[in-house]
Structure formats: structure tokens, C-alpha cells
């Protein structure tokens, strides 16, 4: 157990997939004082409520209650709630407390959140997760930004298990721009592969399409990649759609019309409707399950 972890009081604002990983891994490091707040706690059947029950965490009554006395505040909410989360936390954050903003929000929204937290005496640290949280969990590559990022990396990151975190810039918004411009590609690939295979299956050419990808792209198991990307859209489409709205705003702020990012918003939001199709044994079975759930005409069998 490190001294930093043993002495930490942690507040988790948002107890979804990422919040749960932080709770589990910080406990493994010896953190015993963990509080949590999530707007979804109002629904006892929500993922946040289930996570709290399974982790044995008593939900706080508000964000302010959760952050009072905390030395480290993690904000991991949906993109559209990033600024409201910072605003709520700022009403009670302790002077000098770290506010680790891991939300996939635009550079502009990051700057709004930073202004709220820093004005209240907290130390805002912009963070961008540059990979899925699994399998590396807290050792995933986190890109840090803002005037407090270097101090956080030097004083707190290792003790909190964030050994792979690195400082990208001392200004807020750079890490967000990096993350969201990357998302145009990654979430766009999810949308492209989904749309391509759902259509290719209708014409009976799905195998030819997948096999042909290595003609212009690096040799890979494109069947497995397509299945993974499609499943991520089905499972996290709502969150990904919100993230891509922030990506579209980021592209627009650069003076570029966000045609691709905006289209990805719609495909990700559409995919989220068919989450019940998950659990298939292979990629084509997943494609068929989505087509059936969406009421698309069945593929004609030879």
C-alpha cells in the first residue's frame, strides 16, 4: 500500500464502467475512503445503482456531499453532463483537491469546467483516456492537460495507480482535442463497419467485403475487429453518440464542417437501440441479430 493511496479520500462523480474500475483498483491500492454520486442513483435498477450495491458503496445524497473532504475527485459522467458535474462539485470541493476530468467533452466544455473548479479552489486536471479502459484499467494511457497537470503527475498519479499517465500540455483543451479527433476515426470505424456489414449481409457479400479489407489495410482479423467494433456500438452507443456530438463540436471549432463526425452520431445512436442483440457467437450472427431486431429484410438463403 502506498502512502498516497492510504491517505486518499476519493469521490467518484459517475459510477458507470470507468467509475467502477477506479473504485475496484483504488481499493486494491489500499484506498478505504471512497464516496460516489451519480444522477442515476435515483433509479435502483440503473447500472450506477447496481455498481454501488455490488461494490458495497453507500450512495452520497449529492455531488457536494461526495466531494466534501475528498482529496481526489474523479468526474466520469456522460459528455453532456460534464459541465453540470463540475459545477455541482465546485460548490463543495476542498481547497487544493484534485479534480480529474475524464469526460469526453469538447475543449470548450473542458475550459468551462476548469474555470468552475479552479475558481472554487480546486485543482482541475484535464484527462483523456486514449484507449478502452479494459484490459489495462488504471494503467491505461491517460493524457493529462492544464496548468495543474504536471503537479498532479509528479505528486499524485503514481500513488493513485495512474502510472502510465503523461502530461500533454499545460493548457486546458489540448488533451480533449487529441481524444476527440481520434474519436472521429475510432468511432467512425465502428459506424462504417456496422453500416457496411449490415448492407453486405443483405447482398450475401459479407465474406468478400471482410476478406478484401486487407488488400488496402494492414493484414488483420477483420472479422474479429468488425465484431468487436459493432459490439462496442451496441453496448455503448448512447455514450458514444454524446461523445461524437462533442467531437463534431471540436471539429467545427477548428473551422471544419463535421460531416463525418455528425453522421457517426446518428449511426451510434441507432446502434444503441439493438443492445439486446449482443451475445452472439460470431460476427455474422451478430449482424443477423441486429438486422432481425431492426426489422430489416432477412438475407435470402441460396
**Cβ atoms 261, 248 nearer than 8 A:** yes
**Residue 47 domain-assigned (yes or no):** yes
Whether residues 222 and 168 fall in one domain: no
Instruction: Report pLDDT for 220.
Output: 86
The β-bridge partners of 162 are none
User: Which residues belong to the active site?
Assistant: 179
The β-bridge partners of 36 are 12
- What is the C-alpha separation between 174 and 144, in angstroms, rounded? 9
**Residue 182 domain-assigned (yes or no):** yes
Q: Which of 157, 172, 187 is the last residue of a domain?
A: 172
**Residue 130 domain-assigned (yes or no):** yes
Whether residues 205 and 60 fall in one domain: no
**Residue 300 domain-assigned (yes or no):** no
55: Cβ contacts below 8 Å, ≥ 6 apart: 20, 23, 24
Q: Which domain holds residue 217?
A: 176-293
From the first residue on, what is the mean pLDDT of each consecutive set of 10 residues in the chain (302 residues)?
A: 69 97 97 96 96 96 97 95 97 98 96 98 97 95 98 97 97 97 97 97 96 88 95 95 97 97 98 97 97 81 37
**Residue 180 domain-assigned (yes or no):** yes
Whether residues 162 and 45 fall in one domain: yes
Whether residues 121 and 246 fall in one domain: no
**How long, in residues, is the chain?**
302
Whether residues 273 and 230 fall in one domain: yes
129: Cβ contacts below 8 Å, ≥ 6 apart: 18, 102, 140, 141, 142, 179
Whether residues 128 and 276 fall in one domain: no
Amino acid at each position: 500500500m502506498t502512502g498516497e493511496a492510504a491517505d486518499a479520500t476519493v469521490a467518484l462523480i459517475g459510477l458507470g464502467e470507468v467509475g467502477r474500475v477506479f473504485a475496484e483498483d483504488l481499493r486494491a491500492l489500499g484506498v478505504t475512503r471512497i464516496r460516489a454520486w451519480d444522477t442515476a442513483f435515483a433509479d435502483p435498477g440503473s447500472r450506477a445503482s447496481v455498481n454501488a450495491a455490488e461494490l458495497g458503496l453507500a450512495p452520497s445524497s449529492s455531488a457536494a456531499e461526495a466531494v466534501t473532504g475528498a482529496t481526489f475527485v474523479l468526474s466520469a459522467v456522460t459528455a453532456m453532463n460534464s459541465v453540470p458535474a463540475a459545477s455541482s462539485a465546485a460548490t463543495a470541493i476542498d481547497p487544493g483537491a484534485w479534480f480529474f476530468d475524464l469526460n469526453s467533452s469538447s475543449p470548450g466544455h473542458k475550459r468551462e469546467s476548469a474555470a468552475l473548479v479552479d475558481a472554487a479552489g480546486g485543482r482541475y486536471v484535464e484527462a483523456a483516456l486514449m484507449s478502452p479502459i479494459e484490459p489495462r484499467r488504471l494503467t491505461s494511457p491517460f493524457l493529462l492537460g492544464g496548468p495543474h497537470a504536471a503537479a498532479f503527475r509528479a505528486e499524485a498519479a503514481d500513488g493513485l495507480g495512474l502510472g502510465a499517465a503523461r502530461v500533454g500540455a499545460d493548457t486546458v483543451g489540448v488533451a480533449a482535442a487529441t481524444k476527440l479527433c481520434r474519436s472521429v476515426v475510432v468511432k467512425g470505424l465502428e459506424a462504417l463497419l456496422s453500416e457496411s456489414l449490415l448492407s453486405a449481409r443483405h447482398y450475401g457479400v459479407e465474406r468478400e467485403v471482410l476478406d478484401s479489407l486487407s488488400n488496402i489495410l494492414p493484414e488483420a482479423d477483420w472479422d474479429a475487429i468488425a465484431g468487436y467494433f459493432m459490439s462496442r456500438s451496441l453496448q455503448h452507443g448512447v455514450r458514444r453518440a454524446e461523445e461524437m456530438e462533442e467531437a463534431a463540436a471540436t471539429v467545427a471549432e477548428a473551422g471544419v464542417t463535421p460531416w463525418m463526425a455528425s453522421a457517426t452520431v446518428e449511426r451510434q445512436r441507432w446502434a444503441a437501440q439493438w443492445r439486446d442483440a449482443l451475445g452472439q457467437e460470431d460476427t455474422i450472427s451478430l449482424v443477423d441479430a441486429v438486422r432481425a431486431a431492426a426489422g430489416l429484410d432477412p438475407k435470402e438463403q441460396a
